[in-house]
Structure 1
Amino acid sequence: MASGTVVIGSGTAGARLARQLVAVGAPVTVIGEEPHAPYNRLLLAEVLAGRYAPEVIALPAVPVRRGVRAAAIDRERRLVLCEDGTPVPYDRLVLATGSNPVLPALRGIAQGLPDGVHPFRTLDDCAALSAAVRPGIRAVVVGGGLLGVSAARALAERGAKVVLAQQGEHLMERQLDVSASQLVRAHLEAMGVEVHTECRVRGLRGTDVELADGYVLDAELVVLACGVRPRTKLAQDAGLDVGKGILVDDELRTSDPYIHAVGDCAEHEGRVYGLAGPALEQADVLACLLTGKPARYTGTRALTRLTLSGPGALDLAAFGDPTPRPGDDVVQLADATRGAYRKVVVRGDRLVGGVLLGDLAAVGALARAWEGDEALPETVPLLHLLTNDGGL
C-alpha cells in the first residue's frame, strides 16, 4: 500500500523538503545513499581546510534511511525498489538525486581512479583527501571553477604545495569576468598556489599529471574538480523524460504526474542550476504543493557567494551575467591595493549582472534589486549602485 511521499536523495533539496513535510505532520520517507546524516555540501572545503569538523556541517535532523541505494522505480505499482531488496511504496515520489562529479576523458583513468586521485563531491571524498594531505605534499587540482578554487585553497591551507590547472582562459568562468578572476588568482597565488590557465590535461600516470603539451606535473595527490553532471539514470531507466536533467514543469512534476524532481538533477525551462539557492527554492515550492498550498516554480535568479580564506581573506559575490552587451551601461570600481572590485551591468533600467569582491556591504541591496527584477530608480546615479547601501 502506498504511504505518503518518498524522497530519493538526502542532500540540500531532499533534506529541506523532508523537514517541511515533517513539520506539518505529512508522512515522508527519505532514502539516502550516503551513510552520513544530511550535510551542507557547500562547506566541504571548510572541512578539508580543517576549520570545521564534519559534524559541524550537518543539516537539521531529518529521518533518513541511510546507506540505501534506490535501484529502480516501478511506476505501475508505485514502488521504489532498493538494492537491499526492500520495496518502498509511494503516493508521490520526489527525485532529489543530485549530481555526480564529471570525470574527464583522461588517459589513465579508464579502469578507475588510481590511488591518490580523488573527486571532491561528498563527505567521504573529503575524508579521503583529509587523510592523504600533509604539509609539503605535491597536489594538483584539475579544474578552475568554483569547486576547484575551493579545493585548491583548502589544500594550501593544510600546507600542500598546490598546482591548479584550468583549461579555460580564467578562473571561475561561469561566475566572474576577467578582472575579478585576476583578483581570485592573486589571492590563491598569495597562498602559494601555482595557477595555470589555458592548460589542458591529457592524462594521468598514476598521480603524475600529463599536460597536452607533453609536460608532466609531478604530484602525490590529484583532485578532479571538473564540474558535475545531473544524476538522471534512475529517471531515465524508469522511462521519464530526460534532457540535461530530469524535465520538470512549473509544479516540478516530471512526465509522470506522481513523480517530481528538485535540485541539481532537475531541468526546468531548459536550465539545470546546480546551485544551492535554486535547490532550496524548488524544495520550498514543492513542499507547498504537496501540502495543498498553491505555488509555482518560475525559475531562480541565483546569487553565488564564496569566502576564500587564508592570507587577506576574500569575500566574493556574483549574480547574473557580468559580460555586457552593446548598449549596456557598466559601472566598475577597482582598488588593487585592497584587493577590492565591484562591477554591475545595467540594461535599460534593470540590473542584469554583477561581481563584487572584497567588501560586500553593497551586495544585499544589489541582489534584492536583481532578484526582484526591479526597475532602478531614475534619480539614483549609476555610480551610487556601488556604494554600501547599493544606492537603493
Structure 2
Amino acid sequence: MTSNTRVVVIGAGLAGVRLARRLGELGTPVTLVGEEEHRPYNRVLLAEVLAGRYTPDVIALPAPAALTRARVVGIDREARTVECADGSKIAYDRLVLATGSNPVLPPLRGLFTPDHVLPEGVHAFRTMDDCLGLSKAVRPGVKAVVIGGGLLGVSAARALAQRGAQVMLAQQSERLMERQLDPSASKLVRRHLADLGVEVHTDLRVRDVRCVGGAVRSVEMADGYALDAEIVVLACGVHPRVGLAQTAGLQVRKGVVVDDELRTSDPYIHAIGDCAQHDGNVYGLATPALEQADVLAELLAGRVNARYTGTRSLTRLTLPGQTAFDLAAFGETEALPGDDVVQLADATRGTYRKVVVRDDRLVGGVLVGELGTVGALARAWEGAEPLPSDGGPLLHLLTNDGGS
C-alpha cells in the first residue's frame, strides 16, 4: 500500500484506537470515526469508574489526532465511501470495522416504555454514558438488582456494593461466571460478593420489570417472587454489532467473518475486535482485539507477511477494595474423562488453584487469590508443549515457590 492510501476505521474503542495509533507509528495516515461524545476510553475499566475508584479521565485512551465524531449509517462498497448520519461522506481505500458489541437486552415484560426506551432506573452497562447514568442514580441504601452473573454482572454488583447500594444479583444459571470458572472457583467469587453485602441468587429467572409512573419499582421472578428495586442493571452479555456489515452485504454469521488477514468478504474492508469472527470465534475480550489491531496495522502498513492465527486468551478479574480479590482463568477449566487434574486449595487464605492436563499438555486452569504463578502457567498453556512426565515441574508451576 502507498503512503497516501486512505484508511478509515469505524469505532473508537480499544481495537480502533490501538489500530489508529499503531498505523500512525508506522507512518500510515488514518481517519478514526467514533460516535460517542466522550474521549475514547478503556471499556474494561468502566466498573472502576462506577465504583468511584477512577474518574473517566483516568481510563481515557490516547486518541490519535484524526478522530472524527460521527455516527456511520451506511457503507457504499462500490463508491468506497461511508455515509454519516449528518449526511456527510468519508472516502476510503481500506475500511476497518471496529464497531464492537451491543448489550443483550433480555425479553422481559415491562422492560421498555411505549416509546421503546428503558424505564427510569433501568440501565444497560456498556458505555460511559451508561456508567455515568448509573453513578448519578447510586446512593447509599438504594435497592439495586443486577440481572446477569457473568464477568460484567459480577463487576457491576461489586461496584454498586462499594458505593453503598443494597445489591441483589440474579443469575439464571446455576453458578456465577460459568463460562470461565469451575464450581469451586465460582463459589469463592460468590463468597467474596457476599462479604461485600451482595445477595446472590442463582438458578433464578427474571420474568418481569414492574414500573410505576415510568420508573422501575420491582423485579418479578418466574416463581412469582418479587424484589423491590430502584435500580436495575442489565448485565446479560453482549452480541457483535454487525448491522453496518449486514446492510452492506458482507458475510456475517455470529460476527463479521474475517480471514487470517482480517479481511471480510470484501477485500477492501477489514474487521477487528468484538464485531469480528475469525475461524469460528467471536472473542469479545480485550487481548484478542489488541492482537488483531496490531496484525492489521502491520498489513495495512505494507508488512505483507503478517497474519492473525487466533488468540489463546486469559480472563483476568481483579476486584480491588479493602478485601481485594484476584482471579485468572484460561482454557478448559472443567476436566473431561481421562484428564489429569492438579488442585490446591487453602480455605483460610481463600486461595484456589487448579490445572487440567490432557495428553501431557496443559489445557486449562483457574486461580483465585495470590496469582504469582499465573504468568508461568499461561506461558505453558500458550506454548502447548508436552509437559515432563514426572509431574514435578507442573507442581512447581502451580505452587511457584513450592510452599504456597
- Fold match by TM threshold 0.5: yes
The equivalent of 2:342 in structure 1 is: 331
Q: Secondary structure at the match of 1:30?
A: strand
Q: How far apart are 1:379 and its partner, in Å? A: 4.6
CA separation in 1, counterparts of 2:68 and 2:94?
A: 20
The equivalent of 1:264 in structure 2 is: 274
Of the candidates 159, 162, 167, which is equivalent to residue 157 of structure 1?
162
The equivalent of 1:17 in structure 2 is: 19
Q: Secondary structure at the match of 1:229?
A: strand
Alignment of 1:231-380 (within 5 A): 231-293=241-303, 294-380=305-391
Matched, 1:76 2:88: no
Q: Aligned letter for 2:386?
A: A
Q: How far apart are 1:295 and its partner, in Å? A: 1.0
CA separation in 2, counterparts of 1:378 and 1:15?
A: 45
CA separation in 1, counterparts of 2:279 and 2:55?
A: 38
Does the 8 Å CA contact 2:27/2:301 hold for their aligned counterparts?
A: no
Q: RMSD of the TM alignment (CA)?
A: 1.4
CA separation in 2, counterparts of 1:153 and 1:143?
A: 13
Does the 8 Å CA contact 2:148/2:236 hold for their aligned counterparts?
A: yes
Q: Aligned letter for 2:79?
A: R
CA separation in 2, counterparts of 1:64 and 1:340?
A: 47
Does the 8 Å CA contact 1:362/1:390 hold for their aligned counterparts?
A: no
Q: Deviations over 1:345-381 (max 9, x none)?
A: 0011211110000000000000111122222233542
Matched, 1:387 2:399: yes
CA separation in 2, counterparts of 1:270 and 1:63?
A: 35
Does the 8 Å CA contact 2:11/2:33 hold for their aligned counterparts?
A: yes
CA separation in 2, counterparts of 1:3 and 1:378?
A: 54
Does the 8 Å CA contact 1:363/1:390 hold for their aligned counterparts?
A: no
Q: Deviations over 1:284-316 (max 9, x none)?
A: 111111111111111100001111123421100
CA separation in 1, counterparts of 2:81 and 2:131?
A: 33
CA separation in 2, counterparts of 1:3 and 1:83?
A: 24
User: Structure 2 vs 1, CA of residues 390 and 104 (structure 1 numbering), >3 Å: closer, same or farther?
Assistant: farther
CA separation in 2, counterparts of 1:67 and 1:132?
A: 28
Q: Deviations over 1:32-70 (max 9, x none)?
A: 011112111110000000010100001123135354100
Alignment of 1:1-150 (within 5 A): 4-110=6-112, 111-150=116-155
Q: Which ranges in structure 2 are unaligned for 5 or more consecutive residues?
A: none
CA separation in 2, counterparts of 1:100 and 1:81?
A: 21
Q: How far apart are 1:121 and its partner, in Å? A: 0.5
CA separation in 2, counterparts of 1:255 and 1:238?
A: 11
Q: Aligned letter for 1:307?
A: T
Identical-pair percentage: 72
CA separation in 1, counterparts of 2:54 and 2:77?
A: 42
Q: Aligned letter for 2:372?
A: A
Q: Aligned letter for 1:321?
A: E
Q: Aligned letter for 1:335?
A: D
Q: Aligned letter for 1:15?
A: V
Does the 8 Å CA contact 2:180/2:329 hold for their aligned counterparts?
A: yes
TM-score normalised by length of structure 2: 0.94
CA separation in 1, counterparts of 2:402 and 2:337?
A: 24
Q: Aligned letter for 2:77?
A: R
CA separation in 1, counterparts of 2:322 and 2:357?
A: 33
Q: Deviations over 1:221-266 (max 9, x none)?
A: 0100000000000000000000000000111000000000000000
